[in-house]
Amino acid sequence: GDKQVPMSNLEKGKFVNYARIESNLQVVRQRLNRPLTLAEKIVYGHLDNPHEQDIERGVSYLKLRPDRVACQDATAQMAILQFMSAGLPQTAVPTSVHCDHLIQAQVGGPKDLARAIDINKEVYDFLATACAKYGIGFWKPGSGIIHQIILENYALPGLMMIGTDSHTPNAGGLGMVACGVGGADAVDVMAGIPWELKAPKVIGVYLDGKMSGWTTPKDVILKVAGILTVKGGTGAIIEYHGPGVESLSCTGMATICNMGAEIGATTSLFPYNKRMASYLQATGRSQQAAYAQEFNHNLQPDEGSEYDRRIEINLSELEPHINGPFTPDLATPISKFAEEVKKNNWPEELKVGLIGSCTNSSYEDMSRSAHIAKEAADHGLKTKSIFTITPGSEQVRATIARDGFVDTFENVGGVVLANACGPCIGQWDRQDVKKGEVNSIISSYNRNFTGRNDANPATHAFVASPDLVTAMTFAGSLSFNPLTDSLKGADGKEFKFSDPAGHELPAKGYDPGENTFQAPPEDGASVNVAVSPTSDRLQLLKPFKAWDGKDIIDAPVLIKAKGKCTTDHISAGGPWLKYRGHLENISQNCLIGAINADNGKANEVLNQETGEYGAVPTVGAYYRDRNIPWVVVGDENYGEGSSREHAALEPRFLGGRAVICRSFARIHETNLKKQGMLPLWFKNPADYEKISGSDKLSIVGLNDFKPGQDIKVEITHKDGSKDSFLTTSSINEGQWEWFKAGSALNKMAAAAAA
């Protein structure tokens, strides 16, 4: 109805819009005339145009209106810089920014935090002031990890969110469709442009039975990852259902959804239930829980709804699992693990056990781990392995400190790290082994690819529940199975751990801890955004120039790229990540990994004006500074890999106007369009062979272009001879407007000003 229930207690005047979902679904139900899965209800409930939108799972591209946006500090920089260049006064939907990725774990919480605040000061100042200006909630360094803060404050059943981090699906534990996206998508939604998503397939995971003993929610996703593998969830929402759901806590469901990212799923989702209601109540949201209860008919799958694939798991029979090393889908039940360690020659000594992170740092997780640690302490033991604890949020940290768990952990030798990503994202100054030394670690995190945690390719990283991780650090060995094996206490007597016990929610309520939230002022118009003109990490963006209405004539081919050209070839990561907020500096990596088809070399291209060879970015900038437009020619699946928008911003910044390829990776193709570039496909893929890096190309007939039509390109070879070929494109009406305006954001800004 017309109820005004706030979307968050931290935001004034923004209300839960269940009415829109209801009315969208009325339209969609009439059209599809079949039972809907829960994922479909929420996704279609957010359609921009439910009447005309094609809806076919796995086929149609949906235009959606998410309810909110969340950004972490590494990706937020360019997203906000772009948003600023559109000149809009406020974000179109509630948005939050979270400082969690830039904090390195060295010695422990408070000191590491202080150092990060010092090193990243200009980035934090920029984000804080920009958030104040544009109405964005700002979570300061020390507040915690984005996904935990979202769960505590913003996630709600039935709503839809996008976030610039792959583990955004964590919010599925509260029944929200929450998807990880690139910065470009976040900017769109912040600017009021609908978000495009291929209509997801839906994989149903039916949970039966009841969890007990050492089995935890983490083991559900470890098992599912083993079944589906790292690619098995691609293009799909994983929808959990069945009677077993009732035995999972809300935070446990969040763990399962979080790690769904490891199987490539669009997101993961649970139906609304009492456990979610209790968590909402415990986090100050009784009103929202009551409203969700009223809306419950749309927060469950319809009877008889069909899944594209169905998996069944009996929780009563589910064993604890350990996944890894090097990949999260290599799942081994604990009963078989010691055997596998031997068989595969995995280093048996366990060097480090790490619990917490965005995946597993709930009060329940911490209380169960503390229970295990306490039992070991009662037998006079300290951990044999290094043992670290990363609280997911300041609220979790303060609450476990108040309730004595921090003392329990420290008492056995544990180190409580800052409320931040830390070792989970490789922000870990690990000292106990040298680079290259073969060793084993086990964490309750989500990702364990080679080098992810400590940049040491010889580290064998395993992933398990916090319970197993904690127990194993006391044995210091990967072969220890706490369900069956005993340890020797300080008194020389053997003992076995009892089954871990914990508390779903803190009996005394959550302790909010230090206030780490900066709410935006009522009116931010007068706030000055802090960007130092001498900064090498941040630079304000100038809007790209609008199209001059003329054909693109005699544009030199900057590079004809051969073979694979991924977003890593176009905009490398590693040390360049530091410049994510500085387009000019990061553009120095533009296409430096692409292989020049003319000479087989990377980053060595002909400057057609001087006749000399130079680095790709240098030659590009040379042309740009002389007002010479240039183009890139590419092979198959150009721009595959990540969704990073820098790969499209950089060529545009350096004066590129078009990329002509045999085929494009879809997200990169869209990113190019958004930045006012022309992504063109060879109509006849063999025409790729006609071109060399010493050619000039003219893209003609642009004034008469209508979406769907071919575009002609004329070649002038070095010797003056001429040729031509046709290209196609996927540019639609709206996207053509972006090209004319110079970028999608320019178009939005013009529309807002009109």
Contact residues toward ligand F3S (CB under 6 A) are 100, 145-147, 165, 167, 357-358, 421, 424-425, 445-446
| Min dist. Cβ of residue 259 to ligand F3S (A) | 9
Tokens of 690: 């006609």
Residues 224, 265 contacting (CB under 8 angstroms): no
Q: 100 vs 598, which CB is nearer to ligand F3S?
A: 100
In the complex, minimum distance from the CB of residue 464 to ligand F3S, in angstroms, rounded to a whole number: 16
Least Å from the CB of residue 456 to ligand F3S: 17
Which one-letter DSSP state was computed for residue 170?
G
User: For residues 82 and 74, what is the distance between their CA atoms, to the nearest angstrom?
Assistant: 14
Least distance in Å: CB of 171 to ligand F3S?
Answer: 12
Pseudo-torsion of CA 320, 323, 325, 329, nearest 10°?
A: 160
Residue 229 CB burial class (10 angstroms; 0-12, 13-18, ≥19): middle
Nearest distance from residue 576's CB to ligand F3S, in Å?
19
Pairing of strands 605-606, 711-716: unpaired
CA nearest to 66, candidates 34, 42, 33, 30: 42
**Of 647, 708, 656, residue with least CA distance to 683:** 708
Q: Which of 358, 372 has the CB closer to ligand F3S? A: 358
Single-letter code of the amino acid located at 94? P
Q: Which amino acid is at 531?
A: V
Which residue lies nearer to ligand F3S by CB, 75 or 608?
Answer: 75
Instruction: Single out the residue of 222, 228, 226 nearest to residue 259, CA to CA.
Output: 222
Distance CA 389, CA 405 (A): 11
Question: CB burial class (10 A; 0-12, 13-18, 19+) of residue 436?
Answer: exposed
Residue 62 in contact with residue 198, Cβ under 8 Å? Answer: yes
Q: Which residues are catalytic?
A: 100-101, 165, 447, 642, 644
The least CB distance from residue 424 to ligand F3S, in Å, is: 3
123 vs 424, which CB is nearer to ligand F3S? 424
Closest CA to 75 of 577, 567, 453: 577
Taking the C-alpha atoms of residue 191 and residue 193, their distance in angstroms, rounded to an integer, is 6
Residue 394 or 598 with smaller CB distance to ligand F3S: 394
Smallest gap from Cβ 129 to ligand F3S, in A, equals 24
CA distance 526 to 55: 44
Helix (H) or strand (E) holding 656: strand 656-661
The DSSP secondary structure of 256-321, one letter per residue, reads HHHHGGGGTBSEEE----HHHHHHHHHTT-HHHHHHHHHTGGGSSPPTT---SEEEEEETTTPPPE
**Between 168 and 587, CB nearer to ligand F3S:** 168
Minimal distance in Å, beta carbon 426 to ligand F3S? Answer: 8
Nearer to ligand F3S, 62 or 261 (CB): 261
* Between 147 and 321, CB nearer to ligand F3S: 147
